[in-house]
Amino acid sequence: MRKNRVLLAAAVAVTAFALTGCGGGGDDGAGKIPTAGGGSSSGTGKATAGGGDGNGSGGGKDEVTAYVEARRAYVKCLRENHVDAPDPDANGQVDLGDGRTLKKNPAYLKASEKCAPLNPPVPAEIERRLAPKLTPEQIKTQFAYAECMQKHGAPDFPDPEADGNVYGDVQWDSTTAAAKQAARTCAPIIGDPVEQGTGKG
pLDDT, one tens digit per residue, over 8-66 is: 444 444 444 343 333 333 344 332 323 333 333 333 455 666 654 444 444 455 889 99
Helices (H) and strands (E) in the chain, counts: 7, 4
Q: Residue 197: enclosing H or E segment and its boundaries? A: none
The more confident residue out of 111 and 22 is 111
Count of positions (residues) in the chain: 201
Spatial separation of the C-alpha atoms in residues 16 and 103, rounded to whole Å = 26
Do 27 and 121 form a contact (C-beta atoms < 8 A)? no
Q: Which range, of 58-67, 91-100, 161-170, averages the lowest pLDDT?
A: 58-67
**The one-letter amino acid at 159:** D
Query: Where does the pLDDT of residue 191 fall: very low under 50, low under 70, confident under 90, or very high at 90 and above?
Result: confident
Distances (CA, A) of 145 to 14, 24, 90, 192: 12, 23, 33, 11
Model confidence, pTM: 0.57
Give 114-180 as a DSSP string: HHGGGSPPPPHHHHHHHS----HHHHHHHHHHHHHHHHTT-TTPPPP-TTS---SS--B---SHHHH
Whether the CB-CB separation of 14 and 190 falls below 8 Å is answered with yes
192 band by pLDDT with thresholds 50, 70 and 90: confident
